[in-house]
Amino acid sequence: MFTIAAMHMRQILLGSRRWLLTLGLIAPVFLCTAIAFGGELNNETEKLIVPALVLFACYTIAAPALAALLYGTSVLGDEIQDKTLTYLFTRPTPRWQILSGKYLANVGFLSAATIASLLIASLVLQPRSGILLGLVVSTAVATAAYNAVFMFLGAVWTKRTLIAGVFYLAVFELIPGFMPANVRELTITYHTRCLVLNLSGITDDIPVEAEPFIAAIGDASTEQSLLVPAIVILVMLLLTTRVASRREFALTDEP
């Protein structure tokens, strides 16, 4: 498993997608710099909430989703395109170990890269330490969950996986994740923002007039917001392994 992870890490570092990932992680830093130096925050509430919202949008939604679109959906697609899938799957290593190694490499590298960008952006916006802790944890959780989901999508659809990934994000995450209904509790987006809220302690400093806004974010506990993504990850990895074990992939397929 760890040999596969090391091989896949090399593919990530040497692949052409690294430039898109680099651009996607640099852009939020420039955005945060523009916000920090381009306008004034009028009161303490804005100084507390605005950095948290900007960093949350950039690093627990946009960056993990982009990274998973680039690398989660291509775990099998790249092997098909490079005509190396047969060699990989005829090794004496079980397929679940191959997929697990690739998944761990994805999550380890992408979490580290995204959190590094987050820390740099935090130096500019200077959120409260509790908020930064919540953002780091939720970014890691989002990266792990989105990669598991998109790896499954890539196993089911070896063609047009990026389209399938964007469709999933829009229809099953962003739209229901911000709806004032119980369906939002099934989304990764909902639980990552609840993690930020719970771990930051931001609610202690919010004035009364802003409480409805905080209530709209969500009220899931920290335990629930860790448990639901963990279940999603486990289910998606099991489904991916099942698909990969039962399906014969045509090497003429192009992702």
pLDDT in tens, 59-84: 999 999 999 998 888 777 766 666 66
Contact, 76 vs 102, CB < 8 A?
Answer: no
| pLDDT, position 205 | 59
CA distances from 253 to 77, 155, 159, 162 (A): 8, 12, 7, 15
Tell me the H-state helices in 68-177. 77-81, 85-89, 95-125, 129-156, 161-168, 175-177
pLDDT in tens, 29-45: 999 888 878 766 666 66
Q: Mean of the pLDDT values across residues 187-214? A: 74
Confidence band (pLDDT; 50, 70, 90) for 111?
very high
Confidence band (pLDDT; 50, 70, 90) for 27?
very high
Q: Mean of the pLDDT values across residues 192-202? A: 84
| pLDDT, position 230 | 96
pLDDT in tens, 139-150: 999 999 999 999
pLDDT reading at 253 higher than 50: no
pLDDT reading at 128 higher than 80: no
In the structure encoding, which two tokens stand for residue 62, read together?
A: 């946009």
Question: What whole-number distance in Å separates Cα of residue 225 and Cα of residue 189?
Answer: 10
Q: Mean of the pLDDT values across residues 86-101? A: 75
pLDDT in tens, 6-17: 877 787 787 778
CB atoms within 10 A of CB 234: 11
CB atoms within 10 A of CB 43: 8
Confidence band (pLDDT; 50, 70, 90) for 46?
low
pLDDT in tens, 155-191: 888 777 888 889 999 999 988 888 877 888 889 999 9
pLDDT reading at 134 higher than 70: yes
Q: Mean of the pLDDT values across residues 190-206? A: 79
pLDDT reading at 104 higher than 90: yes
Question: What whole-number distance in Å separates Cα of residue 201 and Cα of residue 140?
Answer: 19
Share of the chain above pLDDT 70, in %: 80
Higher per-residue pLDDT: 128 or 229: 229
| pLDDT, position 228 | 94
| Residue listed under structure tokens 């949008």 | 57
| pLDDT, position 255 | 43
| pLDDT, position 88 | 65
| pLDDT, position 192 | 92
In the structure encoding, which two tokens stand for residue 215, read together?
A: 């209530």
pLDDT reading at 91 higher than 60: yes
CA distances from 50 to 40, 41, 126, 134 (A): 11, 8, 11, 15
List of residues 6+ apart from 137 with CB closer than 8 A: 195, 199
Residue 155: which of 104, 98, 211 has the closest Cα? 98
pLDDT reading at 23 higher than 90: yes
List of residues 6+ apart from 158 with CB closer than 8 A: 76, 77, 80, 249, 253, 254, 255
